[in-house]
Amino acid sequence: MSQLTVYPQDQPEQPQLQTEDFATIQETLGAKGIRFERWRTERELPADADNDSIVAAYRAEIDRLMAQQGYQTFDVISMNPEHPQKDELRQKFLAEHRHSEDEVRFFVRGCGLFVLHLDDRVYALRCEKDDLISVPANTRHWFDMGPRPAFTAIRLFNNPQGWVANFTGDDIASRFPRLES
C-alpha cells in the first residue's frame, strides 16, 4: 500500500505525518504541486508481461497525459534483484537531484520510494503498483529502489533524451530512511 511520511528537513527521526490514506496523500502532495494518481487497467497483466503488452494496457492513460502535459516520449523500465548494475544505479538515484523537466513514473508492478525535498520538509512517498507520481521540473528529490529492486514503471518525458539529472551536491538523502526489502 502506498505510504506518505513527512519530516522536518532537519529531523529525520521525527515524522510529522505518516499515512496510507490515498485521499490524504493526494491532497498533501497536491498542495505542493505534486500529481499523485491511481491508474487501473481493465485486464490483469501477467508477471512476465512484455513492454508492448504493458503499453497496450495503459495506452489510454499514457495518451491522456501526453496530450495534457505535452510529453513527447515514454518508455518502460524494469529492475530486478539480479540486475548487474542494481547497486550502482541505486546509489546514483539516492543522490539528491533535480531535472529540467517533470519526472513522471507509473508503477506497473513492485514499488519504489520517491523522496521530495520541498521547502523545509521532506516528503517520502512509497509508490506501489497502480501509482502515478509526477514531480514538477526543478524539484529537489531522490529515489530509492531498495537493495533488491523489483519494479516495472512507465516513464514519460518532455525531453526525447530521457532522464537527465542535475545533482545538488547536498547529502540530505543519507540522513533519511530508505526503502528496505
pLDDT digit of tens for each residue in the chain (181 aa)? 999 999 999 999 999 999 999 999 999 999 999 999 998 877 788 888 999 999 999 999 999 999 999 999 999 999 999 999 999 999 989 999 999 899 999 999 999 999 999 999 999 999 999 999 999 999 999 999 999 999 999 999 887 666 678 999 999 999 999 998 5
Task: Identify the pLDDT of residue 128.
Answer: 96
pLDDT of residue 163: 67
Predicted confidence at residue 173, as pLDDT, reads 96
Domain ranges for the chain, please list them: 3-175
C-alpha closest to that of 181 among 117, 86, 104: 86
Amino acid present at 1: M
Question: For domain 3-175, is the CATH number 2.60.120.10?
Answer: yes
pLDDT score for 162: 60
pLDDT score at 161:
66
CA angle 170, 146, 143 (to 5 degrees): 40
Please name the helix (run of DSSP H) or strand (run of DSSP E) that holds residue 59, with its range, or none. helix 59-69
Determine the pLDDT at residue 159: 75
Residue with cell 491511481: 38
- What is the pLDDT at residue 145? 96
Burial class of residue 56 (count of CB atoms within 10 Å of its CB; 0-12, 13-18, 19+): middle
Three-state DSSP class for 35? strand
Q: What is the DSSP string of 96-111?
A: -EE-SS-EEEEEEEE-
